[in-house]
Every structure is written in structure tokens, then in C-alpha cells.
């Protein structure tokens, strides 16, 4: 049996299940709808959570409960547990887990493949990258940068990127996101550049602190749980935040600036060692058919995302780069 891992909640989970629904000609609409409601009906009461889980009338066995650790009260939330399916004639189990565990399970040789965001991959695999290449901004360079050897130690892992998972969100756009500088103040680009090249306090979601510190060595990172609220509460400050559609930035009257630190999207990653030996894994990867970095379809989707973000933010994107910056060279 081949085992694949996907995030057990959130938009990436819904999009992954939707992709597997299309690949297997199965209807996972009910499961996606249940998971889509899970955040709004989450509760800190374990007893109440079990009642809600027990109240699911269809395919209850594919769900479980998990604490939502990104929220301060850590409520229990209905999450995706797993399901078996057939891909290209191969029995495959798709299991749900925390997003940061998706790559870790492959590194520990406990799964064959996973769907994971490039940002999560950088966070979890940073220590396996060549120290001189840890400020990666493009995932097509990852496979050539993973693993290194110096006079002190050798680092290696079998994790490799097969390509873009090409997951689509509810708006019909591929799930690209950018990690942008944001602020409640409409700074000029010269002011932003100065802040990023001096010892300025910059709010960052804790898990991205190491990545941003690699890109901007002069700043003083300030880990917070909510970057948007932090820059709104402390005038004259900036932070780095993941931006997908710009809807939240727009609604809170914030601004994003210039080029993102990097662009992320959902990727299909796999165990290279297993892939070399197991024909079943090769068939499954072939069926999922991940997109290459410069594939026509991916480039077209990237253009659509840029256009959508530009239109949503309009003048709230200060120093907006030309579309050519985002396209493969």
C-alpha cells in the first residue's frame, strides 16, 4: 500500500481532497463541506466536540478531532483522519496530519508522498539545505540544494519535490500565496527598504522567523500570533504576512509592499529512495501528474493569481512589481 499525507484541516485540505475526488471519480463533496464548517463549529469543550463528531451522518469514520493550535483557546476541531482509494490501479491511503508534519513523515520514512506548501517545506527542511542556499525563493532549486557536507557534519534526506500539486481554491485560482511586507501605514518603497536593511522591529508569525531572518539579516524579528493585528495596534511598524487573495488586507485597510520574500504554493513531495525502488509509487506520482515549474499551465495560473491580487488590492499594493518578476526566467 502507498501512503500519502495531506493537511487535515484548512483550504489546502479541501483542495487536496477535491483533486483526489477528480482523480478517482469519487464525490468527496460531503467530506469537504463538513471540514469547511469545522472551524466555525469548533469548541473548547471535548464533550461537545465528540457530540458534533458523532452527529455526522455520512462517512463519520474518515473524521477525527484535533486541537486547533493556531488559536489562543485551542478549541477542538473536526479534522480529516484518512481514507483509502485507488489511484492508477494502486491501493493508496490518504492520511491527514498537521501541515508541518507532512514533510516530516517522509523524512522519517513513514509515508511515500505528501502535499505541502513550499513555505512549510522551507520551515521544516531548512536545516537540510546547503547553508549558502537557505534563502531559496523558487522551489525548482530545492532538489539541487537539499543535503550538504562540510568539515563538521553531513546532512541528507530523501525528500524531493515532484512538482506543483496544482491545487485550486474556491475562486478557481491556483493556491499561490506571497509572503509580503505589510503595514497599516502607506510607506514609500524607500522607507520600507530602509526598515528592512536596518535594525528595525518587524512582526513575523513565529514559524517564519528563521526564513525571514535568512533574507533580511539586519532586522529584529518580533514573533507574534497575528501580524495584521500587531501592525494595526502599533503605528509605524511593519510585518511579514502570507497573502493569497488580498481580501483580509483589503478589509483591514492595510498595505503590502513591493516583491514578496517568496511565492509559495502546494507541492507534491515524495520519498526519493522509495521512488527508485517501488513501481507502485512511480505509478501514483504519474497519475497525480504534478506540474513542472515552467509548465504552461502553471505559468497561466500564476498570471491569473497576480491579476486577481492586483485588482483586489489596487492602490493598497505599493511598489507593485511587473508580472514578469513572478514568471519563470
- Mind listing the pLDDT tens digit for each residue in 213-238? 888 999 999 999 999 999 999 999 99
Average pLDDT, the chain: 93
CATH 3.40.190.10 boundaries in the chain:
2-167+266-293, 177-263+301-326
H/E stretch holding 195: helix 189-196
- Please tell me the predicted confidence (pLDDT) of residue 210: 86
Q: 153 pLDDT band (50/70/90 cuts)?
A: low
149 pLDDT more than 80 = no
Lowest mean pLDDT among 51-60, 72-81, 191-200, 266-275: 51-60
- How many percent of the chain have pLDDT more than 90? 84
- Please tell me the predicted confidence (pLDDT) of residue 135: 73
- Please tell me the predicted confidence (pLDDT) of residue 71: 85
79, three cell numbers: 479534522
- How many percent of the chain have pLDDT more than 70? 97
Looking at CATH, the fold of the domain delimited by 177-263+301-326 is given as: D-Maltodextrin-Binding Protein; domain 2 (3.40.190)
Q: Give me the mean pLDDT over the 274-287 stretch.
A: 97
- Please tell me the predicted confidence (pLDDT) of residue 67: 95
Q: 313 pLDDT band (50/70/90 cuts)?
A: very high
Q: Give me the mean pLDDT over the 113-127 stretch.
A: 92
Q: 154 pLDDT band (50/70/90 cuts)?
A: low
In terms of average pLDDT, the best of 37-51, 143-157, 211-225, 292-306 is: 292-306
- Please tell me the predicted confidence (pLDDT) of residue 272: 96
What would the DSSP string read from start to end of 54-92? HT--SSGGGEEEEE-TTSTT--EEEEE-EEEEEETTEEE
Nearest to 15 by CA among 66, 100, 80, 108: 80
101 pLDDT more than 80 = yes
- Please tell me the predicted confidence (pLDDT) of residue 126: 79
- Please tell me the predicted confidence (pLDDT) of residue 23: 96
Rounded to an integer, what is the distance from CA 241 to the centroid of its chain?
13
- Specify the long-range contacts of residues 29-36, CB closer than 8 Å, at least 24 apart: 30/58, 30/59, 31/59, 31/62, 31/63, 31/80, 31/83, 34/63, 34/78, 35/9, 35/63, 35/78, 35/79, 35/80
Sign, CA torsion 260/266/271/274: negative
Lowest mean pLDDT among 152-161, 184-193, 243-252, 300-309: 152-161
Q: 151 pLDDT band (50/70/90 cuts)?
A: low
Lowest mean pLDDT among 165-169, 206-210, 323-327: 206-210
CATH class of 2-167+266-293: alpha beta
Q: Which residue has the higher pLDDT, 128 or 292?
A: 292
Q: Give me the mean pLDDT over the 93-103 stretch.
A: 94
Amino acid at each position: 500500500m502507498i501512503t500519502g499525507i495531506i493537511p487535515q484541516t484548512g483550504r489546502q485540505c479541501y483542495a487536496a481532497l477535491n483533486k483526489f475526488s477528480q482523480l478517482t471519480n469519487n464525490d468527496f463533496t460531503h467530506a469537504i463541506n463538513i471540514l469547511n464548517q469545522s472551524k466555525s463549529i469548533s469548541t473548547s469543550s471535548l464533550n461537545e466536540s465528540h457530540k458534533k463528531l458523532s452527529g455526522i451522518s455520512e462517512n463519520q469514520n474518515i473524521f477525527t478531532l484535533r486541537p486547533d493550535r493556531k488559536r489562543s483557546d485551542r478549541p477542538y476541531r473536526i479534522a480529516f483522519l484518512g481514507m483509502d482509494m485507488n489511484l492508477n490501479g494502486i491501493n493508496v491511503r490518504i492520511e491527514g496530519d498537521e501541515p508541518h508534519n507532512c514533510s516530516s513523515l517522509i523524512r522519517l520514512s513513514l509515508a511515500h508522498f505528501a502535499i505541502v506548501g513550499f513555505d512549510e517545506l522551507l520551515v521544516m527542511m531548512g536545516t537540510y539545505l546547503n547553508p549558502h542556499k537557505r534563502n531559496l525563493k523558487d522551489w525548482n532549486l530545492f532538489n539541487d540544494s537539499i543535503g550538504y557536507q562540510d568539515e563538521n557534519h553531513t546532512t541528507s534526506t530523501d525528500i524531493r519535490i515532484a512538482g506543483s500539486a496544482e491545487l485550486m481554491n474556491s475562486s478557481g485560482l491556483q493556491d499561490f500565496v506571497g509572503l509580503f511586507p505589510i503595514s497599516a501605514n502607506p510607506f514609500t518603497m524607500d522607507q520600507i527598504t530602509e526598515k528592512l536593511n536596518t535594525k528595525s522591529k518587524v512582526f513575523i508569525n513565529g514559524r517564519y522567523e528563521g526564513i525571514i531572518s535568512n533574507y533580511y539579516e539586519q532586522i529584529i524579528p518580533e514573533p507574534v500570533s497575528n501580524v495584521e493585528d500587531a501592525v494595526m495596534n502599533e503605528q509605524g511598524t511593519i510585518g511579514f504576512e502570507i497573502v493569497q487573495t488580498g481580501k483580509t488586507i483589503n478589509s483591514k485597510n492595510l498595505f503590502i509592499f513591493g516583491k514578496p520574500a517568496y511565492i509559495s504554493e502546494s507541492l507534491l513531495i515524495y520519498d526519493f529512495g522509495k521512488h527508485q525502488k517501488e513501481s507502485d509509487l512511480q505509478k501514483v506520482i504519474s497519475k497525480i501528474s504534478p506540474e513542472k515549474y515552467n509548465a504552461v499551465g502553471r505559468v497561466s495560473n500564476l498570471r491569473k493569481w497576480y491579476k486577481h491580487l492586483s485588482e483586489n488590492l489596487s492602490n493598497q499594493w505599493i511598489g507593485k512589481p511587473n508580472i514578469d518578476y513572478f514568471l519563470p526566467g
